[in-house]
Chains A and B, each alone.
Chain A
Amino acid sequence: MAMSFEYKVTGGDFTRAGYASSQVKKMLKQLGVDNTVIKRVVVCLYEAEVNIVAHAWDGVISVDLNTDSIFLKLTDNGPGIANIEQAMQKGYSTASPEVREMGFGAGMGLPNISANADRFVINSEPGKGTTLEITINLNSNAV
């Protein structure tokens, strides 16, 4: 049984930040997915969704439910990440002062994803955009 879902995300629209994550959470609950897995999906998806809202112009989230894993792919049109290694460091952020005042932009988003994903790949082209691929296994209890 494989299922796929897609959500659009608009850059800069913080009033809707977390909407896609919330929809995915509800769906996984309805499907009876283990709570530990849901928690990890929610952390990864929310952080990645907020990154699109905070940094990019727009993006698409796709969620694939497979028999043994959940695969999240987030593709955005945005400024891209010039130095991914630096972006992955805890505490490093390029968020604007306005975004930081809201309590976002603490440089914890990508590390949170990394800690909760079984597989996490970032591809980015400066000036064009960024793609995140996140896999969470249904049977693992990491974190």
Chain B
Amino acid sequence: MKVTDIVEKLNLKIFSGHDGLGREVTGGYASDLLSDVMGHATAGSAWITIQTHRNVVAIASLRDLSAVIITCGEKPGDDTVSQSNEESIPVLGTDLPTFEIAGRLYSLIS
């Protein structure tokens, strides 16, 4: 399933990183602790978090994650958006809290 498919099926906003919408989503990881994601997320996962700063994109890129989903209606900062565009890593958004969007993503891709 591609990022564009989860955008459509989970009704996500696309903030940035449109060039990466064709990335394959092979799993998911929900965490707000950056070292937790660094150490445990697997490549291809969509990362669900409430963090909005640019280091999130740096980690997503370094760990080859497919996308970032920001929860609870939060919005990425301007530098997060520009780094996401540079790295072609989609930053997506939902008004749902982390638990709910994680459950829906899990049902969708498992």
Interface of A with B (CB < 8 Å)? Answer: 14-15, 17-18, 21-22, 25, 39, 42-43, 46-47, 50, 102-104, 106, 108-109, 111-112, 115
Q: Is B10 an interface residue (CB 8 A)?
A: no
Docked CA distance A115–B40 (Å) = 11
Q: Which chain A positions have C-beta within 8 A of B79? A: 15
Decide if B38 touches A102 in the complex (CB within 8 Å).
no
Q: Is the CB of B55 within 8 A of A18?
A: yes
Residues 26-79 (chain B) with a chain A CB within 8 angstroms: 32-36, 38-39, 43, 49, 51, 53-56, 58-59, 61-63, 79
Whether B38 and A14, one on each chain, are in contact in the complex, defined by CB atoms closer than 8 angstroms, is no
Excluding A42-B63, A47-B38, 9 further A-B contacts by CB distance (< 8 Å) are: A17-B55, A22-B61, A39-B43, A39-B63, A42-B62, A47-B35, A50-B34, A102-B55, A103-B56
What separation, in Å, do the CA atoms of A105 and B33 have in the docked complex? 8
Q: A22-B62, A42-B62, A46-B62 are in contact. Are A15 and B35 (CB under 8 A)?
A: no
Q: Closest residue to B37 on the A side, CB-wise? A: A103
Report yes or no: B34 in contact with A103, Cβ–Cβ below 8 A: yes
B residues with CB within 8 A of A:
32-36, 38-39, 43, 49, 51, 53-56, 58-59, 61-63, 79
Which of B35, B55, B62 contacts A108, CB < 8 Å?
B35
Number of A-B contacts (CB under 8 A): 56
Flag if A46 contacts B59 (CB, 8 Å): yes
What would be 6 A-B contacts, judged by CB atoms less than 8 Å apart? A22-B61, A22-B62, A102-B51, A102-B53, A103-B55, A112-B35
| Bound Cα distance from A115 to B39, whole angstroms | 9
Which residue of A is nearest B58, CB measured?
A: A18
Contact A106 B63 (CB under 8 A): no
Contacts of A42 in B (CB 8 A): 62-63
CB-CB < 8 A to A18: which residues of B?
55, 58-59, 62
Closest chain A residue to B51, Cβ basis: A103
**Which residues of B are found within 8 Å of A50, using beta-carbon distances?**
34
CB of B59 within 8 A of CB of A108, answer no
Cβ of B33 and Cβ of A103 under 8 Å apart? yes
